[in-house]
Structure 1
Amino acid sequence: MPASPEADDDRCGLVTDDLVVNRDGAIATVLLNRPATHNAITLAMYTALPMIMTDLASDPSVRVVVFRGAGTKAFASGADISEFERVRGDAVSARAYNEKVAAAERAIEEFPKPTIAMIHGYCIGGGAGLALATDLRFGDEHTEVAITPAKLGLVYGLESTRRLVDLVGPARAKWMLMSGEQIHAEDALRLGLLDELVPADTLEDRTYDFARLLTTRAQFSVRAAKTMVNRIVDGQRTDDELTAHLRDSCFDTADYREGVRAFLEKRPPRFG
């Protein structure tokens, strides 16, 4: 079973009451912990995320990170609008704020290990921005996804928009950004905003079962796959020195030797 979202032991990095990190074996969970506001994301939370991801990246015991929201209503309802007049009141402060948001999302996207967003309920605005920066998104029938800058007179950042376009295509991205309309779970799955859609009462188990599965695979292969896919999405079409090295150097790893040996011995592999 996954670690309780309320657990506060074995935390790492910069953690506040609003952003909690806990571990269950090789799986770390980052909990957006503001259920009274539907987990609206504050500037302090955005600021903390890159440092948290750096800590998790450097921890060899962590193989997968799951992002989730506290409570029963939302993954995250968006950025905390109640602090906008103070932290985003003009172009100068808004620039600094936007840089913090971009850095948080980039830290998730560039994290070298697999990341999964477990989405129950609202995944709106800045919440969608965080979820789209993860590798995979698992949701339930209560999932509602929307990106709402047109309702607030804002402009969605280029990197955030690029992630949306990569998933749903340019026309549907324009529809979402221009309208701000909510997309229900079934349509979110069809469009690629969700990778799996399961009943609410099985979402937690399915998400953590899949995360646990990833921890049993050859980690060199898992992380290389993430690198390869991200480079293709960014426009790379032929090998460079890094991708060729990843492809060729796997033959020198203990994972490769164990995988071949396990296949020949007709047993499950036991990767280190």
Structure 2
Amino acid sequence: MPSSNAGSVDWGINESVATVTLNRPGARNALTWEMYQALVDACGKAEADPTVRVLIIRGSGGAFSAGTDISQFADFVDGHDGTAYERRLDAVIDRIEGLTVATIAEVDGVAAGGGCAMAMACDLRICSDRARFGVPIAKTLGNCLSMANTARMVDLIGPARTRELLLTGRLVDAREALAAGLATAVVPSNELLQETAKMAAELSTRARSTIIATKKLLARLRDHRRPPPGIADDIISECYGSPDFKEGVKAFLDGRKPTFP
């Protein structure tokens, strides 16, 4: 359990299924740097244990994750800080996406920003009917996604829907997420744990070699399509150095809605 407002990433294991719980419910599991590092450590722990066949990532308190804790952007000086942040976030999301064990995002409530990226990086997304997905930064923060996270969204829901969601900052509900291919399955909230456990148990009986090979093949295909790292650094730096981003962070810290110049 968390001992402070910094939150925690809690680890559990039941036979061949490991569970990681994002535990900062008072902030809708908004992620601190420490939580991101703990998530990377948990991925390493899952991969190092030969008994683990499936990793479930879930949130506590009725939310998956609202993304990165915006207060951590308060010390950013210029766009280079934004570029460094996006690289750091990419490394975390890449670690989840690159796991050789099967991964399930159990999504109850909001999965926004970095939380949405985490869910997209998992192999499957089992959702409650209360789930909501999106990246509302056009309304809230005035920054942008990395090229890799933009590509993940395009891969899952296509370029037209990605464009609409990023430009409007709209969140999609569980039903729309299922229709778009963002959600694997949607169940009533009181059945979510059971449905996730059922899927995890099913995956844990499948051939490990097939799962590993399939994930590697998909990764190779993905890497072939995606541009090399750093190709969008100029765009990211300009966005994070903009008056819009400064206003978004200040508005959050002031507890008000931003007024973008």
Per the shorter chain, which TM-score range? 0.7 to 0.9
Match of 1:137 in 2: 125
Q: CA deviation at 1:48?
A: 2.9
Q: CA deviation at 1:89?
A: 4.2
The answer to whether the Cα contact below 8 Å between 1:66 and 1:115 also exists between their aligned partners in 2 is yes
Residues 17 and 76 of structure 1: CA distance in aligned 2, closer, same or farther (over 3 Å): closer
Single out whichever of 97-106 and 157-166 deviates more from structure 2.
Answer: 97-106
CA distance in 1, matches of 2:174, 2:79: 35
Q: Look up the SS of the partner of 1:213 in the other structure.
A: helix
The percentage of counterpart residues that share the same residue type is 36
- The match for 1:149 among 110, 133, 137 is 137
Q: What are structure 1's unaligned runs of at least 5 residues? A: 1-5, 7-15, 237-272
CA distance in 2, matches of 1:106, 1:175: 25
Residues 216 and 28 of structure 1: CA distance in aligned 2, closer, same or farther (over 3 Å): same
2:94 corresponds to 1:93: no
CA distance in 2, matches of 1:187, 1:100: 30
> 1:214-264: per-residue Cα shift (whole Å, max 9, x none)?
11111112222222233334448xxxxxxxxxxxxxxxxxxxxxxxxxxxx
Task: Name the larger-Rg structure.
Answer: 1
> 1:144-192: per-residue Cα shift (whole Å, max 9, x none)?
1111221211010011111100000011110111111010110000001
The answer to whether the Cα contact below 8 Å between 1:46 and 1:100 also exists between their aligned partners in 2 is no
Q: Look up the SS of the partner of 1:79 in the other structure.
A: coil
CA distance in 2, matches of 1:215, 1:156: 33
Match of 2:35 in 1: 45
Match of 2:58 in 1: 68
Q: CA RMSD in A?
A: 1.8
CA distance in 1, matches of 2:84, 2:10: 24
Q: CA deviation at 1:97?
A: 2.1
Residue type of the alignment partner of 1:169: G
The answer to whether the Cα contact below 8 Å between 1:139 and 1:203 also exists between their aligned partners in 2 is yes
Q: What is the TM-score of this pair, normalised by structure 1?
A: 0.77
Match of 1:242 in 2: none
Residue type of the alignment partner of 1:221: T
The answer to whether the Cα contact below 8 Å between 1:43 and 1:100 also exists between their aligned partners in 2 is no
- The match for 1:31 among 21, 44, 62 is 21
The answer to whether the Cα contact below 8 Å between 2:43 and 2:96 also exists between their aligned partners in 1 is yes
CA distance in 2, matches of 1:226, 1:220: 10
Match of 1:110 in 2: 98
